[in-house]
Amino acid sequence: MVVSLMVLMMVVLAQGQAELGFKNPSADTGLCATSCGARCLPRLYAPQIAFCFGLCMIGCKLRPSEAVFKCTSGCANSMVNSYKPTAAERVENIVGSCYQTCKQNSIN
């Protein structure tokens, strides 16, 4: 089960990279994924793993400002608690959507 969750997270991550437009080529996706996987896999519930992994990858790959990261975390946490998605991919989409919104709002 753990291996299948990691594969799912990597597939979702690859899709999310295209959608989010990762701009930091110097950050190694493999190192970030390894670090985030080790941090997040002890959680027992797939959506919690995906939530942790999504936020961790944003922090590692994009290195947003503290305000954008806190905004993303708060937004995603609120949406996950409200909608209670059961699919890890849905949680990853929520995290990505919150990041885009917070990033856009911090520029304006």
pTM: 0.73
pLDDT of residue 108: 55
Q: Note whether 20 and 100 are within 8 A (CB).
A: yes
> Please, what is the angle between helix 2-20 and helix 29-40, to 10°?
130
What pLDDT band is residue 46 in, cutting at 50, 70 and 90? confident
What pLDDT band is residue 88 in, cutting at 50, 70 and 90? confident
